[in-house]
């Protein structure tokens, strides 16, 4: 960054030097003085500002024609600077005259100066304009009053004929690629040519070579060619100095999202180099620096408006897709069906991918995060989603084994919350894990580290290993509301179910039958009385309720929730042979949320007066909040395979209006 530069004067010689506008040159007058000199005077041209700094404030009186004289004390320094650029090489000068005891001149030292302006500039105040020489360009701070430039990871694919994302390709084929990038301007001003022995170089540290790429447009008017000048294999670029007042436009892209080995900050430098003679290496005499932060990947909660709903077409889910299509049409979004030749028999759309987005002041676009699970949908996000302004990112472990908890049914995000005065305006990520004292299943570390490194949605680990599938979406979801809170958290609750069944039993409805029309394999007649008299089932659900209550307490603390912010939906579970919980009837919490329209798994609860009492209870809880409940039959397509409506669908949502750089992590 601009600062003082030391220059060594030589008595009896006039040297040449470049003076960068905005910087000062310091010269040790005492060290350059000839023997016998006791005072000195200074002359300079109009374009140079000069300051003399002496240890002693005393001055020698002016001699005729020599101007002011200063005593030559040890530590006397001459500081000079230039405020405007030179039009010719060596068009300004500073002359120091040395005098003996009686005032006789002894010798002189001089420097011919060429003033040059160099400024590497970015959009440091995030308003879409690249300001000249902003004082904030070399640092980065969070918050509404923060500053610092922002980069997007070019993880989309503008060219359909390339295999990889744009950030994995060192080539740029069209100007559309540049629209994802952040503009960086090198402004220079000075004579038509630099003096011999000077060069300007643009460079990045070797430690950041895999995080940033810089492109330059050659021949902007005739046959444009986009050239990568900095990147993984190019650490520096010699800048062609064009003379006069010039602006060179560069375009900068991020190559990777923040993770545990990359905090997200990248720096780019421009240096003015000087060599004393041919064959002598160059040395830097001025450096200017800009800093960018790579924009994070951001998840979208259920409270944001839906744009597209995704579902897989299978041989057994034609009726389900028909119901989903009706729901999607009512919600005003679009249904995207992934057919068999792409899904290859894999129906679990939610488990394969998580939709999010990335955002900079100049642009925003959706980015899909691909889970480590490798099933039939493995190639779907790359083949069907990755494209122009639709990005792709993945994290896969090198050595850890993949478990069910690595599927993205185990990845949720809350709406915006405030916790003990600290705001989380983009919500908090929720992931399921094992009990803190056990050695059970956990989401693989590389994904957890990736989520934490984004910084703007601080993750919370919950306990989900008690479930056979082990996903957080089996016992928690969020729905939007129109009141001051703006949302409610829904939790699966065996206690709520037993309470409801006991109430119905007292009303004389104990023989009401469950599972009417149920297409599952178990066709035994099940009534409220049988459920309530099954002590083993009751004990198992008491255990399940305690596991859910553990998470309830964690969520109340980490999301700043009160009891009135939580709605308990009736649910029952049973334990499998491994002691893991599976739903006893379709789990209504594992729903799809499309604004006010909810696609809820049909629970096949006890029928009373021609209506399922579980459905009636759910409507009574949710419809007063302005929500519309639609119960979807998913037994044959999903529930029988330990999944529900949400597991077989996925929703791309609109991004937050809030700007993530206003967060204070």
Please state, as a whole number, how many other Cβ atoms lie within 10 Å of the Cβ of residue 561.
19
281 burial via Cβ count (<10 Å: 0-12, 13-18, 19+):
exposed
Nearest partner of 594 among 635, 654, 644, judged by Cα: 654
Distance CA 119, CA 615 (A): 66
Helix, strand and coil in the chain, % to nearest 5: 20, 35, 45
372 contacts 354 by C-beta, under 8 angstroms: no
β-strands 422-424, 592-594: how paired? unpaired
Cα→Cα distances 157→162, 298, 391, 392, Å: 8, 19, 7, 9
Q: 647 an active-site residue?
A: yes
Cα→Cα distances 577→198, 441, 442, 468, 580, Å: 77, 17, 21, 10, 7
- Only one residue has tokens 């400024």, namely 119
Task: Spot the catalytic one: 155, 497, 613, 647.
Answer: 647
Cα→Cα distances 488→325, 327, 460, 527, 642, Å: 26, 21, 18, 31, 25
Query: Sign (positive/negative) of CA torsion 231, 234, 240, 241?
Result: positive
Residues in the chain: 665
DSSP letter string, 575-586: E-TTS-EEESS-
Nearest partner of 78 among 1, 5, 2, 3, judged by Cα: 5
How large is the angle between the packed helices 535-559 and 494-506, nearest 10 degrees? 130
Distance CA 112, CA 117 (A): 17
How far does Cα 532 stand from its chain's mean position?
Answer: 50
Joined tokens for residue 201: 């170089």
- Only one residue has tokens 């290496």, namely 281
44 contacts 121 by C-beta, under 8 angstroms: no
Distance CA 69, CA 605 (A): 102
- Only one residue has tokens 């004390």, namely 73
Nearest partner of 568 among 581, 549, 554, judged by Cα: 549
Catalytic residues: 647
């Amino acid at each position: 960054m601009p600062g003082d530069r030391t220059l060594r004067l030589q008595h009896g010689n006039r040297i040449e030097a470049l003076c960068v506008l905005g910087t000062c040159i310091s010269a040790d007058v005492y060290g350059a003085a000839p023997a016998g000199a006791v005072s000195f005077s200074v002359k300079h041209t109009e374009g140079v500002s000069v300051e003399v700094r002496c240890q002693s404030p005393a001055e020698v009186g002016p001699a005729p024609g020599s101007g002011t004289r200063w005593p030559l004390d040890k530590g006397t320094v001459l500081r000079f600077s230039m405020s405007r650029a030179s039009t010719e090489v060596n068009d300004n000068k500073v002359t120091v005259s040395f005098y003996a005891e009686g005032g006789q001149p002894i010798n002189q030292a001089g420097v011919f100066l060429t003033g040059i302006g160099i400024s590497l500039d970015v959009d440091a105040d995030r308003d879409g304009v690249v300001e000249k020489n902003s004082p904030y360009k070399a640092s980065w701070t969070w918050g509404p009053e923060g500053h610092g430039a922002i980069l997007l990871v070019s993880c989309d694919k503008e060219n359909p004929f390339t295999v990889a994302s744009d950030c994995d390709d060192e080539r740029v084929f069209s100007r559309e690629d540049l629209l994802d990038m952040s503009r960086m301007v090198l402004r220079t001003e000075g004579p038509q040519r630099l003096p011999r022995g000077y060069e300007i170089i643009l460079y990045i540290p070797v430690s950041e070579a895999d995080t940033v790429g810089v492109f330059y447009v050659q021949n902007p008017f005739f046959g444009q060619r986009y050239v990568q000048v900095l990147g993984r294999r190019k650490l520096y670029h010699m800048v062609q100095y064009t003379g006069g007042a010039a602006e060179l436009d560069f375009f900068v892209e991020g190559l990777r999202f923040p993770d545990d080995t990359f905090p997200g900050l990248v720096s780019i430098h421009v240096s003015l180099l000087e060599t004393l003679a041919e064959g002598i290496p160059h040395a830097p005499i001025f450096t200017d620096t800009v800093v960018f932060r790579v924009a994070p990947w951001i998840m979208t909660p259920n409270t944001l408006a839906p744009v597209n709903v995704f579902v897989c077409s299978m041989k057994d889910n034609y009726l389900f897709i028909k119901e989903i299509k009706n729901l999607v049409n009512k919600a005003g979004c679009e249904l995207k069906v992934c057919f068999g030749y792409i899904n290859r028999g894999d129906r679990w759309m939610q488990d394969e991918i998580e939709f999010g987005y990335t955002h900079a002041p100049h642009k925003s676009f959706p980015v899909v995060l691909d889970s480590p699970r490798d099933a039939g949908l493995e190639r779907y996000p790359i083949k069907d989603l990755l494209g122009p302004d639709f990005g792709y990112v993945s994290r896969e472990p090198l050595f850890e084994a993949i478990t069910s908890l690595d599927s993205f049914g185990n990845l949720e995000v809350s709406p915006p919350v405030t916790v003990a005065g600290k705001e989380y305006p983009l919500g908090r990520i929720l992931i399921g894990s094992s009990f803190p004292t056990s050695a059970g299943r956990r989401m693989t570390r590389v994904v957890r580290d990736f989520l934490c490194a984004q910084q703007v949605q601080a993750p919370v680990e919950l306990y989900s290993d008690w479930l056979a599938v082990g996903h957080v979406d089996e016992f928690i979801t969020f729905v939007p509301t129109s009141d001051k809170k703006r949302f409610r958290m829904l939790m699966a609750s065996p206690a709520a179910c037993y309470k409801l069944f006991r109430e119905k039993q007292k009303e004389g409805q104990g023989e009401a039958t469950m599972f009417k029309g149920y297409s599952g394999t178990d066709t035994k007649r099940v009534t409220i009385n049988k459920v309530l008299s099954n002590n083993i089932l009751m004990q198992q659900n008491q255990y399940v309720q305690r596991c859910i209550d553990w998470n309830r307490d964690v969520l109340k603390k980490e999301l700043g929730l009160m009891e009135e912010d939580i709605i308990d939906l009736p649910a029952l579970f049973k334990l499998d042979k491994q002691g893991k919980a599976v739903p006893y009837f379709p789990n209504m919490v594992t729903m799809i949320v499309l604004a006010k329209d909810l696609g809820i798994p049909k629970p096949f609860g006890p029928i009373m007066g021609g209506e399922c009492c579980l459905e009636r209870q759910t409507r009574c809880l949710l419809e007063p909040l302005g929500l519309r409940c639609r119960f979807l039959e998913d037994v044959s397509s999903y529930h029988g395979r330990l999944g529900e409506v949400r597991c077989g669908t996925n929703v791309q949502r609109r991004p937050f209006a809030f700007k993530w750089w206003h967060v204070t992590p």
